[in-house]
Amino acid sequence: MNETPRANRLHIGLFGKRNAGKSSLINSMTNQEIALVSETKGTTTDPVYKSMEILPLGPVVVIDTAGIDDTGELGKLRIKKTIGVLEKTDLAIMVVDATDKNVDSEKKILKTIKAKGIPVIGVLNKIDLKENDSKYYEAELGLNFISVSAKTKEGIENLKEKIAKYSKDIDYEEPSIIGDLVNRWDVIVHVTPIDEAAPKGRLILPQVQTIRDVLDYNGINIVVQDTELKETINMFRDKIKIVVTDSQAFGKIRDIVPKDIYLTSYSILYARYKGDLVELVKGAKAIKSLKNNDTILISESCTHHRQKGDIGRDKIPKFLEELSNKKLNFKWSSGTTIPEDLSMYKMIVHCGGCMINRKQMISRINKAKNNNIPIVNYGVFLGFKFNVLDRALELFPEAKRIWND
Ligand SMILES: Nc1nc2c(ncn2[C@@H]2O[C@H](COP(=O)(O)OP(=O)(O)OP(=O)(O)O)[C@@H](O)[C@H]2O)c(=O)[nH]1
Ligand SMILES: [Mg+2]
């Protein structure tokens, strides 16, 4: 189960006031003591992501959050983080304490949840303490409630079934990486140079996931190093539909692959799979319109240790100044959020987003779009830099048209 990458799982967020029993509910649903529970208000302070199996649903990520009624300066910050979790939430669970009639905080967050179009299930918890009064909460919050007790487990099975039922209609599955382009018997060649950058003894996740996607659609995979590509093409010339390569090797092999065979890169496939390829290509086009002293935001979703020659710190700024032929200012953000106020930026360059899910990436792209700020990701940006977009976008006519415009 741990092999379903976290980004591809249904994300279920639990929201509610402090002490409503969010953490208890997670323990109760999974039959494990994985979330910290106590009678002290504000036990959960930061969002906690847990990959787990909920039967009959399968692998999911459950997100425990801090109470939405927290107070003080720190409390405000916690609420902000809780609301940030909505960016990744596919299904929200609104946990209400049956012993508490005041639902002002719940009303407030429900408004935000609904504005984002996230489906939500109401859970009335602690019914072991109070007679079941779900009608009151349904009327107040305009939501159907399932009554449960995290303590006695009454209603928990019912809740899990409801979650499973809801999740069937939720489009959390990301679109295919390549499967929509593959028919049965199509031969897809993967070019994976085994050099010092390749991890020892294995392939990297984008390669593995792309190979798997071809299999899911009954295509045929051939995996080779760049050094064996020419001979492979000679052997299977008429059968090959697409060659997918590591971006680094693109320049080296582009002339080896005949023009009637599609050639693209894992980065381009992932730009589409994780985000919005058309918007990112528009972003790349905007590089030519940058002006001297424009400020650029470089946004990375993980906080990896940065070495000299780091792509985000060193390479991207250098390439961007070269491509635009302008002197630019750079700011960086990393982690699960991007700056609230984007008004100072003239462009956002975002990482590939392997640590965040599609919903979150799309939400960032939309935020940029709404602020009229061009956004490009590393994959499309490097495609531009190494002059491969014309060819690599041939599989994607809409993006290609924008690029050629
Ligand atoms: N009687 C009863 N007590 C419950 C139930 N669910 C939770 N509790 C108790 O309520 C208190 C708060 O539970 P938590 O699960 O920590 O609540 P929470 O919503 O995660 O709270 P914060 O992390 O502080 O926001 C604990 O003392 C739990 O034992 C329930 O169904 N019945
Ligand atoms: Mg908690």
pLDDT at 304: 66
| CATH code of the domain containing 28 | 3.40.50.300
| Centroid of ligand 2 to alpha carbon of 22 (angstroms) | 5
Residue whose pair of structure tokens reads 């009959």 in the numeric block: 56
Q: With cut-offs at 50, 70 and 90, classify the pLDDT of residue 207.
A: very high
Which ligand is the nearest neighbour of the Cα of 78? Answer: 1
List the residue whose alpha carbon is closest to atom 7 of ligand 1.
21
Q: With cut-offs at 50, 70 and 90, classify the pLDDT of residue 2.
A: very low
List the residue whose alpha carbon is closest to atom 24 of ligand 1.
42
Q: Which atom of ligand 1 is nearest to the CA of 26?
A: 15
**Residue 320 or 275, more confident:** 320
- The answer to the question of residue 127 being in a domain is yes
Q: Integer distance in angstroms from the first to the last C-alpha of the chain?
A: 45
In the predicted structure, residue 1 carries a pLDDT above the cut 50? no
| CATH code of the domain containing 196 | 3.40.50.11420
Do residue 42 and residue 161 come from a single domain? yes
pLDDT at 173: 60
Do residue 24 and residue 159 come from a single domain? yes
For residues 100 and 127, give the distance between their C-alpha atoms in angstroms, rounded to a whole number: 11
pLDDT at 22: 97
**Helices (H), strands (E): how many in the chain?**
15, 14
Mutate to test the pocket of ligand 1, among 24, 79, 93 (most ligand atoms within 8 A of CB): 24
Domain-ending residue, one of 270, 295, 314: 270
Do residue 89 and residue 155 come from a single domain? yes
Residues in the ligand 1 pocket, defined by CB under 6 Å: 16, 18-24, 37-39, 41-44, 66-67, 125-126, 128-129, 149-151
Give which of 276, 342, 352, 347 is closest to 312, Cα–Cα.
Answer: 352
378-398 confidence digits (pLDDT tens): 989 989 998 889 999 999 999
- Domain encompassing residue 312: 278-385
159-193 confidence digits (pLDDT tens): 999 998 888 777 666 678 998 899 889 999 999 98
Spatial contact of 209 and 201, defined as CB atoms under 8 Å apart: no
Three-class DSSP labels, 76-97: HHHHHHHHHHHHHCCEEEEEEE
Do residue 23 and residue 123 come from a single domain? yes
- The answer to the question of residue 230 being in a domain is yes
Do residue 143 and residue 197 come from a single domain? no
> What average pLDDT score do residues 70-74 get?
93
- The answer to the question of residue 398 being in a domain is no
**Residue 397 is inside which H or E element, if any?**
helix 397-404
Residue whose pair of structure tokens reads 């930026």 in the numeric block: 345
Do residue 289 and residue 208 come from a single domain? no
**Residue 342 or 199, more confident:** 342
pLDDT at 167: 82
Number of domains in the chain: 3
In the predicted structure, residue 137 carries a pLDDT above the cut 70? yes
Do residue 13 and residue 153 come from a single domain? yes
> What average pLDDT score do residues 268-279 get?
92
Q: With cut-offs at 50, 70 and 90, classify the pLDDT of residue 147.
A: very high
- The answer to the question of residue 403 being in a domain is no
- The answer to the question of residue 343 being in a domain is yes
Domain-ending residue, one of 254, 270, 286: 270
Q: With cut-offs at 50, 70 and 90, classify the pLDDT of residue 8.
A: low
| Centroid of ligand 2 to alpha carbon of 5 (angstroms) | 25
305-323 confidence digits (pLDDT tens): 666 777 888 989 999 999 9
Q: Among 65-69, 232-236, 292-296, 351-355, which stretch is predicted with the lowest mean pLDDT? A: 351-355
List the residue whose alpha carbon is closest to atom 11 of ligand 1.
39
* Helix intervals (H) in 200-340: 205-216, 229-236, 250-253, 266-274, 277-285, 316-324
Mutate to test the pocket of ligand 1, among 15, 19, 36, 125 (most ligand atoms within 8 A of CB): 19
Do residue 18 and residue 145 come from a single domain? yes
312-360 confidence digits (pLDDT tens): 889 899 999 999 999 999 999 987 678 889 999 999 999 888 778 787 8
In the predicted structure, residue 213 carries a pLDDT above the cut 60? yes
| Centroid of ligand 1 to alpha carbon of 126 (angstroms) | 8
Do residue 224 and residue 286 come from a single domain? no
pLDDT at 356: 80
- Helix (H, G, I), strand (E, B), or coil: what is residue 154? coil
> What average pLDDT score do residues 78-93 get?
92
- The answer to the question of residue 173 being in a domain is no
Do residue 248 and residue 132 come from a single domain? no
In the predicted structure, residue 135 carries a pLDDT above the cut 70? yes
Q: Which atom of ligand 1 is nearest to the CA of 24?
A: 15
| CATH code of the domain containing 359 | 3.40.50.11410
Q: With cut-offs at 50, 70 and 90, classify the pLDDT of residue 362.
A: confident
| Centroid of ligand 1 to alpha carbon of 19 (angstroms) | 5
Average pLDDT score over the chain: 90
Domain-ending residue, one of 124, 141, 168: 168
Do residue 100 and residue 233 come from a single domain? no
Q: With cut-offs at 50, 70 and 90, classify the pLDDT of residue 7.
A: low
Do residue 153 and residue 184 come from a single domain? no
- The answer to the question of residue 394 being in a domain is no
In the predicted structure, residue 97 carries a pLDDT above the cut 60? yes
> What average pLDDT score do residues 260-265 get?
95
- The answer to the question of residue 400 being in a domain is no
Among residues of the chain, what percentage have pLDDT more than 70?
A: 96
| Centroid of ligand 2 to alpha carbon of 131 (angstroms) | 23
